[in-house]
């Protein structure tokens, strides 16, 4: 029942939603117009109006998920890169980066690994 408890707000990256047709709670990778793309496998793209917002992410949670999605694949990775670039952050796309967290010296000076 808690999964269906609706909260107010616009659905965005890192929010939790209840997907009505499947009865599942999903983590949102991103919203594209009237479509929602969820985290997990396989990549799921569904109608936004089939989802209810159950938990609104904090700005920190959104940034953390975007940083992790850079290393995923497909549209989720591409969206994460674009979203971080819009924030003025140029993600390091190397999973082998050895720079200190948040002190990447690669072009863009941004380490998408997050914090330790």
If you count DSSP H runs as helices and E runs as strands, how many of each does the chain have, helices first?
2, 5
Report long-range pairs for 56-65 (Cβ below 8 Å, ≥24 apart): 56/7, 56/9, 56/15, 57/12, 57/13, 57/14, 57/15, 57/16, 61/14, 62/12, 62/13, 62/14, 63/87, 64/14, 64/114, 65/13, 65/14, 65/27, 65/29, 65/39
Mean pLDDT of the 95-106 span: 61
d(CA 83, CA 90): 10
Exposure string of 47-65, with b = 16+ CB inside 10 Å and e = fewer, is: eeeebbbbbbbeeebbbeb
**pLDDT over 80 (residue 83):** yes
What is residue 48's predicted lDDT score, i.e. its pLDDT? 96
List, for residues 13-65, the tens digit of each pLDDT value: 999 999 999 999 999 999 999 999 999 888 899 999 999 999 999 999 999 89
Q: Contact, 3 vs 25, CB < 8 A?
A: yes
Identify which has the larger pLDDT, 107 or 91: 91
What is residue 23's predicted lDDT score, i.e. its pLDDT? 95
pLDDT band at residue 108 using 50, 70 and 90 as cut-offs? very low
């Amino acid at each position: 029942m808690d999964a269906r408890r609706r909260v107010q707000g616009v659905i965005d990256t890192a929010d939790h939603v209840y997907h009505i047709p499947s009865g599942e709670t999903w983590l949102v990778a991103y919203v594209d117009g009237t479509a929602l793309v969820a985290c997990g496998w396989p990549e799921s793209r569904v109608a936004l109006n089939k989802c209810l917002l159950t938990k609104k992410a904090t700005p920190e949670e959104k940034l953390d998920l975007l940083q992790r999605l850079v290393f995923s694949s497909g549209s989720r990775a591409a969206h994460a890169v674009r979203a971080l670039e819009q924030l003025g952050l140029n993600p390091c796309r190397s999973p082998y980066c050895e720079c200190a967290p948040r002190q990447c010296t690669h072009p863009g000076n941004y380490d998408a690994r997050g914090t330790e």
